[in-house]
Amino acid sequence: MAAKTNFFDRLVGFTEIALTKRQKRKLAQKMKQQSKHWLRDWAEAILWAVCMVLLINQYMFQMYRIPSGSMSGTLEVGDMIFVNKLVYGPELLPGKGKMPGFREAKRGEVVIFENPAYLSKGPVFTILKQFVYMISLTFVDIDKDEYGQPRVQYLIKRAVAVGGDTIKFVDGELYFKFAGTEKWLSERDYQKASGFLYPLRRMVSPADYELIHKAGKAAALNDMGFSAGNDSLRYNPYDELGMMARRYDELAAAYPHDSRLVAESRRNINGWYIPQDRVFTLGDNRDNSRDARWFGPVQLDKVLGHALFIYWPFGRLGGIH
């Protein structure tokens, strides 16, 4: 009996000591909290919130502001959107390592991807840039070019063609030849057949192409050393690629031994094959977009997210299609 009493006495004593120590710790934490300046409390809360947002941005959902009118009709300048980064797999670190996703980008989806022209300064700088951008409430961007302008790290476009497709452009209009088929199908006819409608804006009218073709021929004549006259070079400059296509056709006909010129001309006629590990991205505002027509198909492991919905301004709140 005495042994039992002794055991319970020791247990009670141990419990009292443990509870006393716990109470002291809680009291010390409370006193420490009360001794903090309110500004420090605010700073710590903001810092914690920013770190949490950065983690969410990196691995789950990224906030993105539309900087240009290349997607006008779908996304307007100044729209703030959420991008789903889980669906295609987020990067382990900015620019480093791609984690597995649920699927690859599909035809017609609006995607965000790394700008092929962007020269990264490394993941540490990217994290610092994002931290400063968030802590300054988006007012400070430390990633500037030599002219003091923010460098564009990410682009947002529509994935219009996927691996296995062959595409070409005729007077600025996109045509598909899908894998296993021989017939060309215009993008507009594809939209009607599939029921997947998205806005296509053109700034160049079909009537403009007569002058654009003349300008391309005149440029080729100038390249060959012949004077075509300045009047032939005056044209609406929006479709630079349309003019260059005619230019290469004329030069290839004049210099059939030049393999580079012949290859460019053949691509205009035979189309552009999209490899299996890439997607071809275009802006919906076709004549005001710097896209895959200039930098080529985008690697799937560089496609970072799927545009979900617009959250600002409130008048444009809604999903992105």
| Per-residue pLDDT reduced to its tens digit, 178-229 | 988 999 999 999 999 999 999 999 999 999 999 899 889 998 998 998 876 6
Q: What are phi and psi of 246, to 5 degrees?
A: -65, -35
Whether the predicted pLDDT of 247 surpasses 80: yes
Residue 286's CATH number: 2.10.109.10
Count of the separate structural domains present in the chain: 2
pLDDT, residue 34, reads 58
Q: What percent of the chain has pLDDT over 90?
A: 54
Least confident of 13-27, 52-66, 86-100, 252-266: 13-27
pLDDT, residue 166, reads 97
Does residue 153 sit in the same domain as residue 285? yes
List, for residues 254-309, the tens digit of each pLDDT value: 999 999 999 999 988 999 999 999 999 999 999 999 999 999 999 999 999 999 99
Question: What rounded mean pLDDT belongs to the chain?
Answer: 86
Residue 153 in domain = yes
- CA neighbours closer than 13 Å in the CB half-sphere of residue 29: 6
Pair 283, 132: CB distance under 8 Å: no
Does residue 136 sit in the same domain as residue 45? yes
List, for residues 130-143, the tens digit of each pLDDT value: 888 877 766 788 99
pLDDT, residue 178, reads 94
**Which stretch, 47-61, 125-139, 300-314, has highest mean pLDDT?**
300-314
Closest CA to 75 of 309, 295, 239, 298: 309
- Assign residue 198 a region (left: φ > 0; alpha: ψ between -120 and 50; beta: otherwise): beta
**What would the mean pLDDT of 15-37 be, rounded to a whole number?**
63
Whether the predicted pLDDT of 22 surpasses 60: yes
Does residue 147 sit in the same domain as residue 234? no
Does residue 250 sit in the same domain as residue 300? no
Query: Which of the two residues, 47 and 158, has the higher pLDDT score?
Result: 158
Does residue 52 sit in the same domain as residue 164? yes
- Torsion sign over Cα 21, 27, 30, 31: negative
Does residue 85 sit in the same domain as residue 162? yes
Closest CA to 85 of 57, 108, 43: 57
pLDDT, residue 245, reads 93
Whether the predicted pLDDT of 54 surpasses 70: yes
Give the domain extent around 113: 40-168+278-319
**pTM beyond 0.85:** no
Q: What burial class does residue 232 get, using C-beta atoms within 10 Å of its C-beta: 0-12 exposed, 13-18 middle, 19+ buried?
A: middle
Residue 272 in domain = no
Pair 176, 161: CB distance under 8 Å: yes
Closest CA to 65 of 49, 51, 50, 76: 76
List, for residues 60-76, the tens digit of each pLDDT value: 998 888 999 999 999 99
pLDDT, residue 227, reads 75
Residue 127: band (very low, low, confident or very high) from pLDDT cuts 50, 70, 90: confident
- CA neighbours closer than 13 Å in the CB half-sphere of residue 299: 6
pLDDT, residue 232, reads 53
- Assign residue 157 a region (left: φ > 0; alpha: ψ between -120 and 50; beta: otherwise): beta
List, for residues 101-121, the tens digit of each pLDDT value: 999 999 999 999 999 989 888
